[in-house]
Amino acid sequence: MAESPPRPHPRTQLDDNFASPIRFSLMAALGDGMELDFPALRDILQCGDSPLSKAITHLQAAGYVLARKGAVGGRSRTWVRSTKTGRDAFAAHLQALREIVALGGAQML
């Protein structure tokens, strides 16, 4: 009886859209259906406007977040929330990380 091929290493399931620490942290901050405005995200992530803006643009192009613009007190404001596609992709990425850690621990035994 032929052996089945080995299962691919879980790193192959990592999503490159989360390779940036800011994009990864942004998805983690948004949580399930949470919407945050740009200043709140900037404060939570402790990053500058430009890196945050680039992260939002990247994740929006991937279909992982939605950004909407509006005005509050005459000032322009941007709100960001994750999409179901983004939440599913992030959950799969986290699962792959867990599997990588579990493999590492198993090899130490």
| CB 41 within 8 Å of CB 29 | yes
For domain 13-108, the question of CATH label 1.10.10.10 is answered with yes
Predicted model pTM: 0.86
pLDDT band at 103 (very low <50, low <70, confident <90, very high): confident
pLDDT at 108 > cutoff 60: no
Domain boundaries, the chain: 13-108
Contacts of 51 (CB under 8 A, 6+ apart): 22
β-bridge mates for residue 80, sequence order: 36, 67
Taking residues 50-58, report their average pLDDT. Answer: 98
Mean pLDDT of the chain: 92
